[in-house]
A = this chain, B = another copy of it.
């Protein structure tokens, strides 16, 4: 199975047990074979899949002479396996497998964002106790080495904030809505037909998947425990094409961002549709691609872009973790990078900032009566709550309509002030229906 390596004598063979042989599992299995010689040269050891645990074979893999078990726990019980690759997904069997592997003294590599976001603190504690590593580069943004960038590449920096397009399905939908002026529901149906979106798309379009990934990124960025439940999550399902168009008129594009920011009050963790200036690189990340923008105190902004999902890109991240581990364990050393980037004893809880205290720019779309004095009412209500107007679009009424659309972009304003302003505005006789509001970020420091 492992291609013979002639150019370098590996110190040792590192045996990998792959549990789960779906899309990512088969991608990983095949990548270990296809690039075997190269990987041996990089890891300075032979990396070979010696045991597969899967309920059924996958026609995409030629399992050849590899041991196959239908019970994934047989892989954990295999004394020859050094690293368990957990690719079964979910948080029940996967978690049990991960705990069993750690207790058996095996390192674990996983692509399971839900498991890490929800149970990471316990998993890392157990791994510490047993002296093994748990690696999860593939859990966030697929093949983009963003975990490594935050945990190692930017280790010199205090991270101020990060903002990411970390759900490819959502980004595909938003890109299509903007490019073609299409409805959310319409594009979602196409994404499902193309296989970009699940039959039940809730995880993707309601921001839950992005919240899992954001929780992980924030913990590494700020050296704090995983706080899955602290992430404010707002989906893209109610986004209307008209707002995408108005945003464009204002020079903005709407992206579904995960944002983590450190402020004087604590840490903001939020996933929501966000207007960002169209000239930002992040605004130009289209289709199913992912990207994460990170602001460090020394380096300033850096951005990481690539495929956020798929068999091969995710396998790329899994195998990078395997090479990292193999580089060390093949010579009896341990990988010295802590699970969350800081020494375990230094992982520190930080207060989460309630959304009412979060300050952002706001986009408002108001249906107002087309008569004198209405605009000054709106401006007065905003101004009384310390909200100033940065720019404004007022459209002529459509034939036969007595209301006009007024679109406002504010300067930075507290959500609590905006809540109060919207309530006051909606109470006016001259305002029709609900006010549409979205957050905007300049992402410039």
Contacts and interface: CB of A to CB of B under 8 A. Distances in A.
Interface of A: 7-9, 27, 31, 34-35, 38-39, 41-44, 137, 142-145, 148-149, 152-158, 223, 279, 281, 284-285, 291, 296-307, 312-313, 315-320, 322-324, 327-328, 331, 333-334, 336-338, 341-343, 345-346, 348
Contacts of A285: 281
Contacts of A315: 156, 298
A303 B300 contact: no
Contacts of A338: 42, 44
Contacts of A320: 152-156
B323 A327 contact: no
| Copies of the protein in its oligomer | 2
Q: Is the interface of A mostly helix, strand, loop or mixed?
A: mixed
A316 B41 contact: no
Given A155-B323, A156-B31, A7 B348 contact: yes
Contact of A35 (B27, B143, B157, B303): B157
A36 to B, nearest CB: 11
Contacts of A342: 8, 38, 41-42
Contacts of A154: 145, 316, 320
Nearest to A330: B336
B299 A312 contact: yes
Contacts of A299: 142-143, 306-307, 312-313, 316-317
A343 B41 contact: yes
B312 A343 contact: no
B298 A313 contact: yes
Contacts of A149: 145, 148-149, 153
Contact of A44 (B39, B43, B306, B343): B343
Given A35-B157, A41-B346, A319-B156, A307 B312 contact: no
B148 A153 contact: yes
Contacts of A324: 152, 155
A93 B312 CA distance: 46
A248 to B, nearest CB: 16
Contacts of A35: 156-158, 297-298
A40 to B, nearest CB: 8
A178 to B, nearest CB: 13
A46 to B, nearest CB: 12
A291 to B, nearest CB: 8
Nearest to A223: B41
19 contacts: A8-B342, A9-B345, A31-B298, A34-B297, A35-B156, A38-B158, A38-B342, A41-B343, A42-B155, A43-B155, A44-B336, A143-B298, A145-B153, A154-B316, A281-B284, A301-B307, A303-B306, A331-B336, A333-B336
A143 B300 contact: yes
A109 to B, nearest CB: 11
Contact of A336 (B152, B281, B327, B343): B327
A179 to B, nearest CB: 11
